[in-house]
Homo-oligomer: A and B are copies of this chain.
Amino acid sequence: MMQIWNRALAALALVAAAVLASAVHAAPAHPADEDGYELWLRYRPLPQAHAPRWNTIVFDGAPSATVRAAIDELRRGAQGMTGKDLALGTRVTDGAVVLARAGKLPAGVDGAGLADLGREGYLLKSATVAGKRVTVIAANDDIGLLYGAFGLLRAANTGKPLDRLDERSAPKLQLRVLNHWDNLDRSVERGYAGQSIWNWWELPDVRDRRYVDYARANASLGINGTVLNNVNSKPEILTAPWIAKAAALADVLRPYGIKVYLSARFSTPLELKETKTADPLSPEVAAWWRNKADEIYRAIPDFGGFLVKANSEGQPGPQDYHRTHVDGANMLAAALAPHNGVVMWRAFVYAAEKPDDRAKQAYDEFKPLDGKFARNVLVQVKNGAIDFQPREPFHPLFGAMPATPLMMEFQITKEYLGFAMHMAYLGPLFEETLTSDTMRQPGGLTVAQVLEDAAHGKRPTGMAGVANVGSSRTWSGSHFDQANWYAYGRFAWDPQGSARAFAEEWATQTFARDPKAVQGIVDMMMMSREAVVNYMTPLGLHHLMDTGHHHGPGPWVDNLGRPDWNPTYYHKADRQGIGFDRTARGSNALAQYAPALAARWSDPRTTPPELLLWFHHLPWDYAMPSGRTLWAELVGHYDRGVAQAEELRTRWERMKPFVDARRYDEVRERLDVQVKEAHWWRDASVAYFQSVSGLALPPGARPPARSLDEYKAIRFPYAPGH
């Protein structure tokens, strides 16, 4: 009898073991193939030692939609990381996760400092309540609880000790928004991740389930606004059918703390034939916009406001009526002010009348307007003065308009850094800009500090990122481009954050928790942008891409409609030398920077080598600090870029054991293309500059694989995003 039982028991144990082996707790030997859709919110099973010991979620009261979102996410995370389905309760037990708003903190929990965290901040605390070990998420508002839930899940997912949490976090900028350059036909300007995720045609009736996942991803980073449509806007977006579509999206996004904004075309009322002019000082026009704002707010009570690209690249604007940016922005601001909406007025302007240096124009136009904008206007300034190049010095407007709220505009989509094909982690680019010292204050004033506007405090602050989100299954067109969305969101929350730290968080959550894998992947990410700079635009060169589509090299292009559309305008290479002289001897764009900085950068010897040719025109035989000539150094940088692209591929091969087969292969395919295109950029650029300089290649440098004419003949009539 005993034997029979033993045998039955053994058999049953075998069954149970076999089944358990395939169940959720056991990490599979070979991770399943993944398609990237889950982003960094993957919540894979944690080893027992690090797994959270949560067993209930406690919330006292009727949960709002936002609190429900927090509860759902905690349950999803716990299910994924521990296999446990968390019940929702009101009684504190051992292992409870307590969501508590200020004033409702469990007795004995120290809520000190909570009041300073604002509406969106949160506390995470390990605590003992009535003898029970609990984890408290505390905030002043429901959105803080949601952000705290994501913060707690991130802590668990990245292996932080969960039994002695004591974290406080609050955003340093108020408006943390994505700018979608999404058109109404669902194409995306400079989009490399498929069509717009906004299925305008099916809205408002059909609400794609994906909108919720978009909201979750953004809320996990603290992104709290989204401009739905392209800055090159159309009048229809402000008509009733489209307001209804935007309202449907606003309804989906609202529980996640995300406000909807729209890009407004300045001439909208005129083009809709509802006014006779678009002059901002016309009472008819001002009334139209007031009525339009009222109409929008009836449909979207928490509408964020307007983003405006005016008098730039052919877009209409107040200057068409001999009015100023202030006239235009303040008219719109007056329409939005009763509803607490804002105007984000872009400073990216350049006009044909000022051909001496396009880099100077935004400053020239906007600096004189400092202090004249209405209180609910932010001036949105690109990180650099040209246009989202692989490297630019920080925009001279930062620090130069102390009486005006300036908002940063970064480009997350990689218009100039290899689209969604090249690996280029933008964290270092964001960090480089944000940590730049404007030298506008004694002791220093970084761009991040300008944005945070610590000196004033009462004015709106913000950061915008041109989204890289599309209908692609990976959202961003590639697995690694998801990291740029992530890093953007984290920097918008904390402009003084660290690119490497954000990369570590991202890689851990997205790919693998093994420290060897995280280290390997993060090292790749951290070198990747400099690789692109090296094989595309080293030593401060910029705007060398081919026309229109902006894919691939075109340093020879000199035949476009405006001088400052031509790469030759920017590199000014000739037999003697190369570079754009922006010193006092040249365009004197340097004078737009703080005097101490301008002085430093006026001398090529004290200009950082990576900005050298941005500010200086130098002879080919200029002696670089390395001792090599500028020509040799330039070719050396191109070669280094190619070597770095190859190094990325080699390093990825070492990651194979850590990554599921599908994502491994998909990244690998792209790295093959990157290596190929790095060679192309290097070879075409070297061939061209050699044809200009007439110099022999430095010793050991490989001749370009093809002739310059062959490179010039390459065409891309159907490139995406154009």
Contact = CB atoms under 8 A, between A and B. Distances in A.
Nearest to A662: B209
Interface stretch (A14-22, A218-226, A303-311, A486-494): A14-22
Contacts of A1: 2
A1 to B, nearest CB: 8
Given A6-B5, A201-B718, A471-B471, A669 B16 contact: no
Contacts of A662: 209
B194 A471 contact: yes
B184 A718 contact: yes
Given A471-B471, A718-B200, A669 B206 contact: yes
Given A12-B13, A13-B12, A194-B194, A669 B236 contact: no
Contacts of A103: none
A202 to B, nearest CB: 7
Contact of A19 (B5, B9, B20, B669): B20
Contacts of A209: 35, 662, 666
A23 B19 contact: yes
Contact of A201 (B2, B670, B720): B720
B2 A12 contact: no
A202 B718 contact: no
Given A16-B15, A195-B471, A185 B8 contact: no
A195 B164 CA distance: 49
Given A185-B718, A201-B720, A720-B201, A206 B12 contact: no
A330 B719 CA distance: 35
A532 to B, nearest CB: 18
A722 B540 CA distance: 44
A710 interface: no
A1 B5 CA distance: 12
Nearest to A185: B718
Contacts of A185: 718, 720
Instruction: Give the residue among A236, A673, A720 with the most B Cβ atoms within 10 A.
Output: A720
Contact of A673 (B13, B16, B205, B672): B205
A676 B22 CA distance: 48
Interface string A666-690: 1001101100100000000000000
A113 interface: no
Interface in A444-481: 471, 473
Contacts of A183: 718
Instruction: Give the residue among A1, A16, A187 with the most B Cβ atoms within 10 A.
Output: A16
Interface string A116-144: 00000000000000000000000000000
Nearest to A199: B194
A669 B207 contact: yes
B236 A186 contact: no
A719 B199 CA distance: 11
Contacts of A205: 669, 672-673, 676
Contacts of A19: 16, 19-20, 23
A12 B5 contact: no
Interface in A408-433: 421
A12 B5 CA distance: 13
Contacts of A5: 2, 5-6, 9
Contact of A206 (B20, B195, B670): B670
A1 B670 CA distance: 63
A421 B186 CA distance: 17
B194 A421 contact: no
A666 B16 CA distance: 38
A717 interface: yes
Instruction: Give the residue among A12, A201, A205, A209 with the most B Cβ atoms within 10 A.
Output: A201
A471 B210 CA distance: 14
A67 B471 CA distance: 34
A207 B662 CA distance: 12
A116 B471 CA distance: 47
A547 B183 CA distance: 22
A87 B637 CA distance: 54
Nearest to A206: B669
Interface in A179-211: 183-187, 194-195, 200-202, 205-207, 209
A673 B720 contact: no
Nearest to A676: B205
A241 to B, nearest CB: 9
A572 to B, nearest CB: 32
A183 B717 CA distance: 12
Contacts of A16: 12, 15-16, 19
A420 to B, nearest CB: 9
A719 B236 contact: no
Nearest to A209: B662
Instruction: Give the residue among A184, A209, A672 with the most B Cβ atoms within 10 A.
Output: A209
A719 B185 CA distance: 7
Contacts of A2: 1-2, 5
A719 B200 CA distance: 9
A298 B672 CA distance: 24
Nearest to A674: B205
A185 B720 CA distance: 7
A473 B720 CA distance: 20
A206 B206 CA distance: 32
A225 to B, nearest CB: 24
Given A2-B2, A12-B13, A471-B194, A206 B719 contact: no
A471 B720 CA distance: 15
A208 to B, nearest CB: 9
A98 to B, nearest CB: 28
9 contacts: A8-B9, A186-B718, A187-B187, A195-B471, A200-B718, A201-B718, A206-B669, A206-B673, A236-B717
Given A9-B9, A206-B673, A236-B717, 16 more contacts: A5-B5, A5-B9, A9-B12, A12-B16, A19-B19, A19-B23, A185-B720, A194-B194, A200-B718, A201-B718, A202-B421, A205-B676, A209-B662, A209-B666, A236-B718, A471-B471
Interchain residue pairs A-B with the least CB separation, the first 3: A16-B16, A184-B718, A185-B718
